Amino acid sequence: MEERTGTGDIKTNSVKALLVDPADPKALEKVSTVLEEEGAGSVDIVGVLTTHHHEDHAGGNDIVVKAISSASIYGGKPKDGPPRVRAVTNLVADGDEISLGDSIKIKCLATPCHTQDSICYYVTDGDQKAVFTGDTLFQGGCGRFFEGTPEEMHSSLSYLGQLPDDTIVYNGHEYTRGNLKFAKTVEPMNDALSRLEQLCDSNEITTGKSTIGDEKQWNVFMRLDIPAIRQATGETDAAAVMGKLRELKNAM
C-alpha cells in the first residue's frame, strides 16, 4: 500500500518552523506529539510551504490558519486563472526567496506539470541543502501529468537536476518500491538500482534518504538520454521519451 510520508517541518535554533504540505487536519497535533517525544520544547510555527493545491497536500492549511491566525501560507498559482491553494496568503513564483530565522534560506522553484501551480522549495542552512518536491520528483519517479505535458515535466526535472548533487530530496508520497519495479523493466542493467533496492529494503519510509545526485543515477525520468531507456520507449526525442515512460508507468 502506498502512503503519505507525513508532515515535514524545518526548524531553526530560534525555534521557528514552517510546516510543509500539512494535508492531515490533525497535523498540528501530530507535530506537537513528535516535538514532545523528541524533547524539542516549544516551537513557534510561523507558516506553511504548500507544494501544490491538491487536497492531499493543502488540505490542512485551513486548520493551521484557524489555530494560528498570523501564519503565512505560501503557495504558487497557475499562469492563467486564480490561485487554487487552500487558504493561501503569500503567493510565490519562480525565484522568490523566503527566510526562516537567522540562517535558513528557502528558494521557490516553479515546476509546472503535475499541477500548474507546483512549487518546489530549495532550502539551505549553511552547508546543509534539501528540496521539498511535492508530487514533481519522487525517489525513482515523478508525478503524473495531470495539468501539464511531457515537455513541462522534462523541463521541471531538469531544473531540479541543476541543484547541487548533495541536496537531500523530500518528496510527497511513498512510491519508491513501485518506481524501483518500473525502473527494472526499463533499465535493468543500471547498477545504481541495486542501491535503490537496498534503500527500500532498509527503510519503510524512504523520503529524505536520497539526494539529487542519487536521482540522476537511478531515476529513469531524469535519464532520458540513456540508450537503454530510449530503446525501451522506442523514442529518441527527450519529451517523447518522457511521455512514453509516463504512459508505461501508468499502465503498470
pTM reported for the whole predicted model: 0.92
Q: How far apart are CA 185 and CA 217, in angstroms?
A: 16
pLDDT at 131: 98
pLDDT at residue 26 greater than cutoff 90: no
Tell which residue, 217, 116, 128, has the closest CA to residue 170: 128
Calculate mean pLDDT across residues 30-34: 80
Task: Write out pLDDT tens, residues 57-68.
Answer: 999 999 999 999
Catalytic residue among 114, 125, 154, 214: 114
Catalytic residue among 9, 125, 154, 173: 173
Asked if 114 is an active-site residue, the reply is yes
Task: Phi first, then psi: give them for residue 100, nearest 5 degrees.
Answer: -135, 115
Catalytic residue among 52, 53, 125, 154: 52
Catalytic residue among 9, 21, 117, 135: 135
Asked if 52 is an active-site residue, the reply is yes
Asked if 57 is an active-site residue, the reply is yes
pLDDT at 8: 53
Torsion sign, CA atoms 66, 44, 27, 71: positive
3-state helix/strand/coil string of the chain: CCCECCCEEEECCCCEEEEECCCCCCHHHHHHHHHHHCCCCCCEEEEEECCCCCHHHHCCHHHHHHHCCCCEEEECCCCCCCCCCCCCCEECCCCCEEEECCCEEEEEEECCCCCCCCEEEEEEECCEEEEEEECCEECCEECCCCCCCHHHHHHHHHHHHCCCCCCEEEECECCHHHHHHHHHHHCCCCCHHHHHHHHHHHCCCCCCCEEHHHHHHHCHHHCCCCHHHHHHHCCCCHHHHHHHHHHHHHHC
pLDDT at residue 90 greater than cutoff 50: yes
pLDDT at 30: 81
Asked if 173 is an active-site residue, the reply is yes
Task: Write out pLDDT tens, residues 156-186.
Answer: 999 999 999 999 999 999 999 999 999 999 9
Catalytic residue among 9, 21, 53, 54: 54
